[in-house]
Amino acid sequence: MVSIKNASIDQLFEAILKLKDVDECYKFFEDVLTIKEINEMAKRLDTAILLDQGESYENITKKIGTSAATISRVARCLNYGDGGYKAAIKSLKGDE
């Protein structure tokens, strides 16, 4: 995968990590992204979680309305990416 690492993005991620709670995250992300962008990010994470649980593309589309193309991209990242989805899923499960 192509590296996006640079000082500006490092600063962005550091700012996100320093947010105290979900309410601060809402405030920050509503300022930085559109509601549609936030919803799309959430759907991608939902898709990764369902794929990790063994759900089929068809069931994922029915449950959350994600397109087959998006499911395919998330699956590719989940299986062959840098481990970001896997780390997030593990964290949500409390398996840190």
Residue 68 belongs to domain with CATH number: 1.10.1270.10
- State the Cα–Cα distance between residues 89 and 83, nearest whole angstrom: 10
Q: What pLDDT score was predicted for residue 2?
A: 65
Residue type, 30: E
- Mean pLDDT over 34-41 rounds to 97
Do residue 94 and residue 78 come from a single domain?
A: yes
Q: Which residue has the higher pLDDT, 20 or 1?
A: 20
- State the Cα–Cα distance between residues 62 and 68, nearest whole angstrom: 11
- State the Cα–Cα distance between residues 27 and 8, nearest whole angstrom: 20
What is the domain extent for residue 8? 1-32
Do residue 38 and residue 27 come from a single domain?
A: no
pTM above 0.75, yes or no: yes
Do residue 22 and residue 56 come from a single domain?
A: no
Do residue 25 and residue 59 come from a single domain?
A: no
Residues above pLDDT 90, as percent of the chain: 93
What are the pLDDT digits (tens) for 43-55?
999 999 999 999 9
- Mean pLDDT over 70-87 rounds to 96
- State the Cα–Cα distance between residues 59 and 90, nearest whole angstrom: 22
Do residue 66 and residue 79 come from a single domain?
A: yes
**What is the tally of structural domains in the chain?**
2
Do residue 15 and residue 56 come from a single domain?
A: no
- Mean pLDDT over 11-37 rounds to 97
